[in-house]
Structure 1
């Protein structure tokens, strides 16, 4: 039902819902509403959830590795509009209560048959527009950040650790990624959830990039992993005073979520080098939405260097064509 982003000749499993990299979405044009009411599963699916919870509690009681639950958000509605004069993009998200076990209930069972004979994938994602899936199917919303180091001009790729649950373990991903969590991202003062704040948390917890580093963050768009049905916010971050050596030194001294990645690659941040790295790694080693994020980040960087001229996006296309020619893609 939804097209898939294509880069270096590969059709990814990511649908680019909003954004093209040319223009960032202003923080003031992101409107997030939150309803403190839980998602409600159909009776049969609720039974699947109870089974997951009981199994994780059993493993915990036995002292075995287990998944712990935490409060998250479900996406109830996504709306994209434009301002009426300048036509700047406006992103509106409606969120409600969910938790990690809610996410596991659907993500682990997308291809499990229900009593009606249909899988969740067939009924909600392939039989109709996945963007309109019910909120209990939308219990995954993550912020993905592409980080560039300003001092040495590198783009950072992070490989997900095998310790991370889910289909993306052991794959190249964004520089940093965080799923929205109520404990961390729901302000106590009642103010709205901030996607930019989540991006900063991702950089801090996974890469030890601090607020004092003067990192600039731009929100570039929103995508949907059409295979695993996970929403992905795309951000570009530039840390002007950091380089590879400084970051690697920090990581030896401890990172909050150090276990989430097992390998990093710093690649020259020009379009040819970044797209060449994507092309040279087998398609199966990429998470569905990471190549989309890095392509948008390249376009945004090119447009900014050209003083805002949108034509600069075609410089990235030209670099992509060169990469493909040289590799016979």
Structure 2
């Protein structure tokens, strides 16, 4: 099954919006995460690929060479979306299994590698079948992505991933902050469920020095699926009513937990014309697949809230998009 790709300013991206249109959030109490403590199981041939990756990383570590650390993470078993009975608000159930970073590398580095049956992983599981329902061992990455606005000066923050970050998205414009789910950080010791809202707050703290004492307006906007790299993403909009660009940059100059993840930040006026104009003015290959979709949904949510909850306000963003396209036509 071919999943449609999000298009903005005349460009088709590598992102499929699985849930959400920006007009209403997924409430924290309606975002349900189920964790099944069982490890993903690879087919025998793919398990051999993973073993080779593990042995190579161990070899490099033993020689004192740069190597990849195998952190514990989650695999997405399934994502199910329903609606509440009366208000028809979105209810999302995310079911997770155990996985690790080497599991993720096994598939992410080998999507185009042919198996003994002559098919690549992409051909068999992502093009020959519905990619949203690929087996759990194909889904060893879930990232929380946040679009951040500063309330005091009305700016939207774009972050460019550092060239030192591993993976296909290095040196690309991305969400303001993003964090992959990790068992060490995000699985509560008291047995309570994993909270994607808590992961979003962790991303804001570790990458942008937004502290728990800062006033934060945080809403989940939906889910995306990176069709190019096959990675799941949760989309969030965050507004800091009491902070501005100057305050955040001053904080960053004094140290950030994960400062190395980004090498450039751009604060753009948070109105649709400016945000979509910034997206249009950057070459398409310099964007991660799902970042433009996230920022578009954040614009829609801001417009709807400014209009007192009227979902028709989304068309203000569409009108701005047309102005941006017209202004850039030769």
Aligned partners of 1:54, 1:240: CA distance in 2, in Å? 49
How far residue 84 of structure 1 moved from its aligned partner, in angstroms, is 1.0
Partner of 1:183: 184
CA distance, structure 2, for counterparts of residue 12 and residue 235 of structure 1: 19
The Cα offsets for residues 40-72 of structure 1, whole Å up to 9 and x where unpaired, read as: 001110111111111111111111111101110
Q: CA–CA distance in 2 between the matches of 1:300 and 1:225?
A: 21
* Aligned residue number for residue 223 of structure 2: 222
Please name the residue that 1:130 is paired with. Answer: 131
Q: Segments of 4+ in structure 1 off by > 2 A?
A: none
**What is the count of residue pairs matched by the alignment?**
329
SS across alignment from 1:49: helix
Q: Which residue of 1 aligns with 2:118?
A: 117
Q: How far apart are residue 328 of structure 1 and its match?
A: 1.1
In the other structure, the counterpart of 1:261 is 262
Deviations along 1:126-171, one digit per CA (max 9) or x if unpaired, are 0010011100000010000000001110000000001111100000
In structure 2, how many angstroms separate the alpha carbons of the residues matched to 1:269 and 1:201?
23
Partner of 1:288: 289
Equivalent position of 1:307 in the other structure: 308
- Structure 2 distance, partners of 1:54, 1:262, is 32
Task: Find the counterpart in structure 2 of residue 249 from structure 1.
Answer: 250
Shift of 1:228: 0.4
- C-alpha distance in structure 2 between counterparts of 1:225 and 1:95, whole Å: 18
Gaps in structure 2 of 5+ consecutive residues: none
Q: Following the alignment from structure 2 to structure 1, what is the Cα–Cα distance between the partners of residues 174 and 25?
A: 21
- Residue equivalent to 1:96: 97
Give the equivalent residue in structure 2 for 1:142: 143
Partner of 1:84: 85
Match of 2:240 in 1: 239
- Aligned: 1:270 with 2:255: no
SS in 2 for 1:32: strand
TM-score (norm 1): 0.99
Where do residues 312-327 of structure 1 align in structure 2 (5 Å cutoff)? 312-327=313-328
Classify the secondary structure of the residue corresponding to 2:213.
helix
Distance 1:95 1:66 in 2: 27
The worse-fitting range, judged by mean Cα deviation, of 152-161 and 62-71 is 62-71
**CA RMSD across the alignment:** 0.7
